[in-house]
Amino acid sequence: MKNDEGRMKKARPALRFPFRLLPSAFCLLPFLLAAAAALALPPAQVQQRIASGEKITFVDVRPTSLFQQGHIPGAINVPAGLVLLKELPPLGHVVVYDDGLGVKAAETAAAALNKKPGITADVLDGGFAAWETAKAPTTKAAGMKPEVLPVITYAQLKDLPTSDLVLVDLRKRPDPTAHAENARAPALTDLAAAFPKTPVVRSPFEATTGAAHQAKSATATTPPLLVLIDSGDGAADAMARTLKANGVARFAILAGGEEILARKGEKGLQRLGSTIEVHGRLPTPPATNPKAP
């Protein structure tokens, strides 16, 4: 019997793993697979797939107010905060997009959609702004519309990946020879020190050449997000209108400009009111007559 048991042990193949799997790894595996499934697809690639006959459903995760102003034809609107709660049919291949102006809502939404049955979600690289810049079709009506210039906060700017940014420095440099008070003007914030590894240009039209062009990989076709920074003199607004006139939609104005940079995002001091010091004797108020009707 002992010999038989020995032969059975030798005959049974041993299962060996090249690495040790911890129990926690099995719990994390579905989330890792879902996170890795979403790809960033440039607008040109998405248009090529549609032209080749591939069926793609667009999911717009922007607020409904923005969706109503214009969206990709055929897109369905599911605001980012409702993606987890929304029950959706098996839509097949889905391309998710946000505004592309600094809030990375599409990536989170795509990860949530990939957990729903019958849905495979990718992300539109650069969002709706990149889609417009590529002159792809939208439902925006032609003609005069109220001007809305996109704005980005200091906190949002700090959270964005440097590989998707180009800072456009439109700030005025003080001229010490022009006025005596300019000699005492504080120095401008060093953008290279405040945002290391982020390209800085003096004109947005330099963003496709030189060091700024290296912000995107050699195979990427989506333009970076241009962040316009001025000294609070309206230069960023003027440049934003120039970009819109040239068909560039992927830009945002840094709210507060140089002032918010100098404060490193901190709020300014609040006025607590004024104190007036009065010298001399105040006039005596007239006596009142308690018997008066």
Structure tokens of 30? 């579905």
The CB density around residue 172, as the number of other CB atoms within 10 Å, is 13
What domains does the chain contain, in order, with CATH numbers? Answer: 31-133 (3.40.250.10), 151-174+187-262 (3.40.250)
pLDDT reported for residue 143? 61
Residue 274 CA to its chain's centroid (Å): 41
What is the mean pLDDT, run by run of 10 residues, along the chain of 293 residues? 49 43 43 58 95 96 95 96 93 96 89 95 95 93 72 90 90 71 73 92 74 46 90 94 91 94 77 38 49 48
- Identify the helix (H) or strand (E) that includes residue 168: strand 165-169
Structure tokens of 246? 């040239």
pLDDT reported for residue 176? 63
In degrees rounded to 5, what are phi and psi of residue 228?
-90, 125
End-to-end CA distance of the chain: 125
pLDDT reported for residue 105? 92
Answering whether pTM is above 0.75, one says no
Dihedral angle over CA of 20, 22, 27, 30, nearest 10: -20
What's the chain's Rg over C-alpha atoms? 30
The CB density around residue 249, as the number of other CB atoms within 10 Å, is 23
